[in-house]
Amino acid sequence: MRTVFFGGPQEGATPPVDYLIPTPLSAAELRVLGCLIEKSFFTPDIYPLTLNSLVTACNQKTSREPVVSYDDLTVEAVLATLQGRGLTAKITGADHRVPKFKELLMEKSGLKVSEIAVLCVMMLRGPQTVNELKDRANRIHAFASQAEVEETLDRLIGREPQPLAVRLPRAPGQKEARYMHLLAGPVEVEEAAIAPAPAPAREDRLGRLEAEVAGLKEQLRRIEEEWKEFRKQFE
């Protein structure tokens, strides 16, 4: 039997919000958006990011689960999709020799930095315990205690009308429960055998396939544009 976790209101839930984040987001969209959020805190001196810097951030071998290998075309395609959904923006002009990209989620959602911190880490690394979130989100927001992390998670879980996180059951052999974002849609967990962590190989393959599909869509779009330009010569 499979349980689907949608999240939902809890006692003391936060007041309803006006902005609804356009979901579900694909694995590739989560990676690109998460990297933009992360780097806005980690490297503010070079933010917004160039395409090259963003590709490097997506393909990091540390602080990423799963590790991926996106190319420029793939990330461009994902950025185009995110921009269409109002979650990123392309910055051009005389002050920029090359286009740069920034995220718009923080501004539009009105989320607190503490909430963005745990969301970002879950976007880049998947389900995690309170302890893991406290340690890994430290460079974005320095949580004073585990209790503060739990309070932050409770706000995300109780966010109405769009919960953004959910508490997962403890996996066999695990002492602590894990938490996961809901930006990719409802979280499905096998009741019979809840894995303690995402299967890296399967998640990696899925991420690569989604990235390849996004890249193929971008290639098709460019071919269509070139064909239209070619036809204009004979009209």
pLDDT value of residue 221? 67
Tell me if 233 is assigned to some domain: no
Please count the structural domains in the chain: 1
Q: Which residues pair with 88 in a beta bridge?
A: 103
Distance CA 67, CA 63 (A): 9
Tell me if 224 is assigned to some domain: no
Q: How confident is the model at residue 172 (pLDDT cuts 50, 70, 90)?
A: confident
Tell me if 221 is assigned to some domain: no
Cα of first residue to Cα of last residue in the chain, in angstroms, is 61
Tell me if 132 is assigned to some domain: yes
User: How much is the mean pLDDT over the chain?
Assistant: 85
pLDDT value of residue 165? 98
Tell me if 225 is assigned to some domain: no
Quick: pLDDT tens for 45-79.
999 999 999 999 999 999 999 999 999 999 999 99
Give me the phi and psi of 187, to 5 degrees please.
-95, 125
Those residues whose C-beta lies under 8 Å from the C-beta of residue 121, and which sit 6 or more positions away, are 128, 133, 136, 137, 140
Tell me if 94 is assigned to some domain: yes
Quick: pLDDT tens for 223-233.
877 777 777 77
Range of the domain at 145: 2-191+200-215
Query: Greater confidence, 221 or 191?
Result: 221
Cβ neighbours around 24 below 10 Å, total:
12
Tell me if 222 is assigned to some domain: no
Residue 180: which CATH number? 1.10.10.10
Helix, strand and coil content of the chain, in percent to the nearest 5, comes to: 45, 10, 40
pLDDT value of residue 31? 98
Tell me if 234 is assigned to some domain: no
| Alpha-carbon 117 to chain mean position | 11
Quick: pLDDT tens for 123-137.
999 999 999 999 999
